Chains A and B, each alone.
Chain A
Amino acid sequence: QSVLTQPPSASGTPGQRVTISCSGSSSNIGSNYVYWYQQLPGTAPKLLIYRNNQRPSGVPDRFSGSKSGTSASLAISGLRSEDEADYYCAAWDDSLSGHVFGGGTKLTVL
């Protein structure tokens, strides 16, 4: 059971906009930054969003992050086949004094 809760799966068709939710608590998302990672099949994770809504250089602006209270969301617009991957949210947890991840959401591009 992960500290952060994500839906196990999501899907969309090419060109569509999809969102992936991440729910936490006051000790993690409610008081700290949220990060999002993309893991393509058979590869290491890649940082997609940091500090709630910032994109590292090289990450397309089709990816955007937001946070409200104890929840966060990752939005992907103009969905492409190469976006098919697992997506993980993460945050620091003050109670656990450690980084926590969501269980991951497998995105399928239909």
Chain B
Amino acid sequence: EVQLVESGGGLVQPGRSLRLSCAASGFTFDDYAMHWVRQAPGKGLEWVSGISWNSGSIGYADSVKGRFTISRDNAKNSLYLQMNSLRAEDTALYYCAKDMVGYQGAGGAFDIWGQGTMVTVSS
């Protein structure tokens, strides 16, 4: 069964850090780009970051550039998101999503999604 399972969310104070993980199974992980997409409570979807199959191409939304770092370990079938200098506006449900292609830019679509991990930034 194709599956993505996120973990690492929780309550964190503003300015602190958190690392999210996404464990993939049921498909050839290193063939595809992967992404993080977030959804603030009661709000719409926002793409956060994407990484190509070989980590050769990485992109970030302007809202997280310089604070968040995406990475992957193909040997462990895992995707990560290191979040530093967290702000209240980063509070959201963070989804891990598989791309239909290996490159993280134009042309891809997110065909498999995890159930998300909640990040709450509050003092």
Contact = CB atoms under 8 A, between A and B. Distances in A.
A98 B44 contact: no
A98 B111 contact: no
Interface residues of B, number: 24
Interface stretch (B12-20, B84-92, B100-108): B100-108
Interface stretch (A15-23, A76-84, A101-109): A101-109
Interface residues of A, number: 27
Interface string B47-61: 100100000000111
Contacts of A32: 106-107
Interface in B30-50: 35, 37, 44-47, 50
A101 B107 contact: no
A47 B44 contact: no
Given A44-B114, A101-B45, 9 more contacts: A33-B107, A39-B45, A44-B95, A45-B37, A47-B110, A50-B111, A92-B106, A100-B47, A104-B45
Interface of B: 35, 37, 44-47, 50, 59-62, 95, 100, 105-111, 113-116
Q: 5 closest A-B pairs (Cβ-Cβ)?
A: A92-B106, A99-B47, A50-B109, A44-B113, A104-B44
